[in-house]
Amino acid sequence: MITLPVSCNKDCGGGCPLLAHIDKDRLVKITNNPFRNPYQTGCVRGYQMPRAVYSKDRLKRPLIRNGPRGSGKFREVLWEEALDLVSRKLLEAKEEHGEGAILPLGGSGSCTGAVHNTALLKDRFFGLLGRCTRVVGDYSEHAVEFVKQYLFGKAHTGLDPGTLQFSNLIILWGANIADTRFGCEMLLRVREAKKGGVPVIVIDPRRTATVSQIGSQWIPVLPGTDSILMAAVLWVLMDEELIDRDSVKSLSYGFDHLEGYIKGKEDGQPKTPEWAEGVCRTPKDVIRRFAKAYGTTKPAALIPGLSIQRTWGGEEPSRMAVVLQVATGNIGARGGSTGSNVLNKLPYPKCGTIKLKQGTKGTPIQVYRWPDAVIEGKNGGYPSDIQILYFVGCNFLNQGSDIHKNIQAFNKADFSVCHDYFLTPTARYCDVVLPVTTFLEREDIIFPRSNHLFYSHKVIEPLYESRNDYDIFCELADRAGFLKRYTENRTADEWVAYLLKRSEVEDIEQFKKTGIYEGKDNLRTGLADFASDPVEYPLNTPSGRIEIYSEKYKETGFSPYPVYRVLPADNEFPLRLVTPHARLRIHSQNYNIPWFRDRQDDRLWMHPIDAKKRGIIDGDKVIVKSRQGSMKIEVLVTEDIMSGVVSACEGVWPSFDEDGTEINGSVNMLTSTDPTEPSMGSRTHSVLVEVSAGAIDRDGG
């Protein structure tokens, strides 16, 4: 048996250093890389990757649809036939249907690699093909990234997880790091801090695995009201004279405008804990105690999850969290944080990627509205009439909001293609499906969520007739006449060697042997230089400081300083649904693998008060409805979720009964393509629903 270092090239937030065990050319198991530091551990999704690689559902050959869309009826064909068809359709659309006729989508299937990166490879090909529609933004972090440019300019705002050893308080605000990772070090770093006596406060509508495993205190808050709770915390800090005025004055611009708002000078409503309790349902005494502890404990690391910005008005808590760190003097402090996107890492070790260096960017649309753009086209005010959908490393039919609308978009398009290794819901609606390799069937350089590079070996030959995404695009580029521009005369492996040679890695053979290259400093804090001397190291904002009040942001039509915005209540749909990540899935990946599906809890969480009111008991099959659609799902009645809130994990593949009702609990049957504004980002944690018992047979008769 031999062993080789590998690293997951997936959108899980980890990018962990792992070790593949191979016996007689077969992958046997995956374990942790022995050369890792003690905080870098993998998870069950990586350890169990052989189950996906060798799944009976792996696509073996290219497929061309020979039945109705969505029926799953395809015929296996040779690569030549499939590629000829795809190439002909792309070139016809480009020549006959004008600007923007092709819409490429994807990116998250393989998103941390330098070469085998489904976002970069897609952009490179379609940029050279030209005359395409391109999407801007993303489903994950668009709202926080949108506001970050107004707050900080282009500054890096992340932190190295190792700096948490210097924290005296850690606040995980909507960050379920036990399930969503936030890098392969974060969980163990926080766990170690707690063992050392550091309080870890978790703010979330649910008692998550993070609360159970590493939380010192759970503070519930109603989904989408985080900005209200933050405003109340600011009010207490002001009332108790706990504002770090020196930090506010030297590091920020416009705090006085926000202070007037918090004190009620703008709207006549002081943002007191008593006021906040009535909206966010966090008890006023809890708010006061939390605010005082926060204001008197330094350094404090406020780590917001992406969940708080996937809401209607999600831009506001993303801005307000930064204000809290400014007001408490935790910006740039080792053991503190900026309060901004924790995934916005500090610079990686020097290493390039394959990317678009020439070509056109295409006609832009917001990714969250992609089905609307397909369905409505120019008549609906969009810049193009889209004829072809091309999916690379993604499951947009399932993962995009409003599945009914997504299906309608597929049926509106003339032709659709996807690269995948399973017949996903997206693949079932495509006209051509091209089987691709997993990260274990190719070599790459991986960028994790830390100051490292990981080397991932090719440990087995591609199964069946699967091909690398890169090689598929090479074939299509050849047919389109720009192969040399796409490849620059390099194979995928030659690209890896080329990028490594120009990286800061000096001993490449040692890097391949250990699989790990560590940057020179792993104790960096975002904005540390700026905080130490804002005159010498100003931000590239108009004021050179953190812009709490932004004239540029005002041009979007929204408040120049953070305010609270909450989705109005709806008497017909009185419950608020959140759609968190599943512990055993990477979005929708692994749902079709029985081992993962059997161990993943995909029930709807519901508080006993809400269940009793509706005549629902634990284990019932219930119907969940929103204005977009409905689904059936089994309910878990539990006090681990706030009253007024229900929760169902995203990523379940939909299935429909004879009446057309979704019966697996696929939550995007309920979500809307109306985004949060002005960012136009996702608001999948602002879903208003009602739950009913439906037809119940509790006796089994």
Predicted confidence (pLDDT) per residue in 76-105, tens digit: 999 999 999 999 999 999 999 988 999 999
Q: Is residue 451 part of a domain?
A: no
- Shared domain for 198 and 338, answered yes or no, is yes
Residue 351 lies in a domain: no
- pLDDT of 529 higher than 70: yes
Of 184-188, 342-346, 384-388, 567-571, the range with the lowest mean pLDDT is 342-346
Flag whether pLDDT at 276 surpasses 80.
yes
Q: Is the pLDDT of residue 344 over 70?
A: no
- Give the pLDDT of residue 345: 72
130 and 156 within one domain:
no
Residues 206 and 295 in one domain: yes
Residue 39 included in any domain: no
Given a cut of 50, is residue 700 above it in pLDDT? Answer: no
Please check whether residues 341 and 429 belong to one and the same domain: no
CATH code (residue 483): 3.40.50.740
358 has pLDDT over 80: no
pLDDT digits (tens, 9 = 90+) for 365-399: 999 999 999 999 999 999 999 999 999 999 999 99
The answer on 402 and 259 residing in a single domain is no
Q: Are residues 226 and 332 in the same domain?
A: yes
State the pLDDT at residue 500: 98
Structure tokens at 161: 């997880």
- Asked if 695 and 661 touch (Cβ cutoff 8 Å), the reply is no
Q: What angle do CA 347, 352, 355 make, to 5 degrees?
A: 115
What is the structure's pLDDT at 286?
98
φ, ψ of residue 324 to 5 degrees: the values are: -60, -40
As for how many domains the chain has, the answer is 3
Residues 288 and 431 in one domain: no
| pLDDT at residue 113 tops 90 | yes
**Is residue 686 assigned to a domain?**
yes
**Chain-wide mean pLDDT for the chain?**
95
Share of the chain above pLDDT 70, in %: 98
Are 314 and 389 in a shared domain? Answer: no
Is the confidence at residue 579, as pLDDT, over 80?
A: yes
495 plus 592 within the same structural domain = no
State the CATH number of the domain containing residue 194.
3.40.228.10
Whether 652 contacts 591, CB under 8 Å? yes
pLDDT digits (tens, 9 = 90+) for 240-259: 999 999 999 999 999 999 99
The Cα–Cα gap between 29 and 79 comes to 31
Q: Please, which pLDDT band fits residue 701 given cuts at 50, 70 and 90?
A: very low
How confident is the model over 2-49, as pLDDT tens digits? 999 999 988 877 789 999 999 999 999 999 999 999 999 999 999 999
The answer to whether residue 376 is domain-embedded is yes
Q: State the Cα–Cα distance between residues 129 and 419, nearest whole angstrom.
A: 18
Beta-carbon contacts of 603 under 8 Å, excluding residues fewer than 6 positions away, are 633, 634, 635, 636, 648, 665
Co-location of 159 and 203 in the same domain: yes
Say which residue, 697 or 436, is predicted with more confidence: 436
Question: What pLDDT is attached to residue 10?
Answer: 85
- What domain range includes position 594? 575-692
Q: Is residue 354 part of a domain?
A: no
Q: Which of 159-168, 175-184, 247-256 has the lowest mean pLDDT?
A: 175-184
Q: Are residues 199 and 279 in the same domain?
A: yes
Residue 29 counted as domain residue: no
Residues 175 and 315 in one domain: yes
- Tell me what percent of the chain is helix, strand and coil, each rounded to the nearest 5: 35, 20, 50
Domain assignment present for 357: no
pLDDT level of residue 468 (50, 70, 90 thresholds): very high
631: domain CATH number is 2.40.40.20
Q: What's the predicted TM-score (pTM) here?
A: 0.96
User: In 118-161, at which residue ranges do the beta strands (DSSP E only) sit?
Assistant: 133-136
